[in-house]
Chain A
């Protein structure tokens, strides 16, 4: 279910990783790090996108019951970026605005992951349908 706006951006490279266990979350972080280094993201930007990926991967695992992430290297008008799409077939998020509120949690965490991931990314897009699943897309662009 790729939307039109995304399809326009040319994708240079794609990885598809499963998120089924805690080790998979580590693997996602490592792959995002490798891709971020590949397009020459600075150390701060690298750390931001890796941390955001870590938060969303863990949400996919803990709240979505597992799923997968697509890591795209994208290029638009000469600038490069990493775009991550997390998808799960979990219960979905009833109130997205509430889920994005800091310190709101239903799972005993700090309640900062989703909002934090949004703040750490240049682009953040979330769709969730109750009983169908959740799909979150984030991107971090190389600053020029």
Chain B
């Protein structure tokens, strides 16, 4: 016959709440939850107190199903704690420990209050264990989701940060590409480039691929599309920064970019200046000084 462990559990937690809380906090401290300095002792105490109180209230409602309405506020609190820990940079172990270190104090309290009745202790331990496992899983789920949100935001930031369009001179833009060019990033690159062409009334855009580690057919196709779109906007593209090994590989691959390309960004810039009717010349004064020195 199954003895209802939840009843015993409620009674124990209600009677022994201060002792459980103290033992729990001691375990948390011992486990190094405070050592990283990411959370203050007072804050940890408050969190533990609230969680234990809400757990007691939820159990007192007679429900043992963690998914039920009675546990809504507890789920909320745990979710909040997890989220803040994910953002503060706690490890997943630290976050899981918060809930799992509550097990031992509860088991001990059960042993104290129900001394002598082994079957009651066993039933209550089973209920407590099942419930705390659910609590722990919920905590981890929220923790992971929050981490993924952080990563997702960073990915987006990287995509935006790593595709700046730089104005080199009137009507001359440079687009230094760095890293892997996937479809999502190419979209951002193309959008930035086309907008910059409009804003700067650019005639020439230099796409520098020094920082692109691999140029395969997909990257080439993305580049070709960007070039074609830029052309439609009235700007000519120059590709720069094709390293020797990339050039050889592209030839074997059979990719033709059908666009003027230069080995370095400096060469491409010089060409762009020439094309727009400009030239870089050494200042006359400097030249004179140099010739005087020689004399």
Binding site for B on A (CB under 8 A): 22, 26, 29, 43-44, 46-48, 50-51, 54-55, 58, 102, 109-110, 112-113, 115-116, 119-120
* 4 further interface pairs, Cβ-Cβ under 8 Å (given A116-B253, A119-B252): A22-B183, A44-B245, A109-B218, A112-B253
CB neighbours of A47 from chain B (8 A): 214, 245-246, 248-249
Q: Name the residue of chain B whose CB is nearest to the CB of A45.
A: B245
Q: How many of chain B's residues touch chain A, expressed as a range?
A: 20 to 34
B interface residue numbers (CB < 8 A to A): 180, 182-183, 213-218, 220-221, 224, 244-246, 248-249, 252-255
Check if A116 sits within 8 Å of B252, measured CB to CB. yes
From A44, A115, A120, contact of B244 by CB (8 A)? A44
When A and B form their complex, which 5 residue pairs have the shortest distance between CB atoms, in order from nearest? A116-B253, A47-B245, A54-B216, A119-B252, A44-B245
Q: Which residues of chain B are near A120, meaning CB under 8 Å?
A: 249, 252-253
Residues of A within 8 A of B220 (CB): 110
For the complex, what is the distance from the CA of A43 to the CA of B245, rounded to whole Å? Answer: 7
Minimum C-beta distance from B231 to chain A (A) = 18
Q: How far is the CA of A143 from the CA of B235 in the complex (A)?
A: 43
Q: How far is A120 from B252 in the complex, measured between Cα atoms in Å? A: 6
Residue of A22, A113, A116 with most partner-chain B CB within 10 A = A116
Please state if B252 and A48 are interface contacts (CB–CB under 8 Å). yes
Chain B nearest CB: distance from A54 CB in Å?
4
Distance, CA A144 to CA B200, complexed state (A): 52
In angstroms, Cα B213 to Cα A51, docked, is 10
Within the assembled complex, what's the spacing in Å between the Cα atoms of A47 and B215?
Answer: 9
B249 touches A110 (CB 8 A): no
A56 nearest in chain B by CB position: B216
B254 touches A51 (CB 8 A): no
Q: Which residues of B contact A48 (CB under 8 A)?
A: 245, 248-249, 252
Contact: B254 with A102, CB < 8 Å?
yes
The distance in angstroms between the C-alpha atoms of A43 and B214, with both chains bound, is 12
Within 8 Å CB of B221, what residues of A?
109-110
Q: Which of B244, B246, B255 contacts A116 (CB 8 A)?
A: B255
Closest partner residue, chain A, to B216 (CB atom): A54
Please report the C-alpha to C-alpha distance between residue A26 and residue B214 in the assembled complex, in whole angstroms: 10
Is A115 in contact with B254, judged by CB distance below 8 angstroms?
Answer: yes
**In the complex, what residue of chain B is closest to A46 when comparing beta carbons?**
B245
- In the complex the two chains form, what is the Cα distance from A112 to B248 in whole Å? 15
A44-B248, A47-B249, A116-B217 known; A110 vs B255 contact (CB < 8 Å): yes
Most B Cβ at <10 Å: residue of A22, A51, A119: A51
**Complex partner residue of A51 from B182, B215, B244, CB under 8 angstroms:** B215
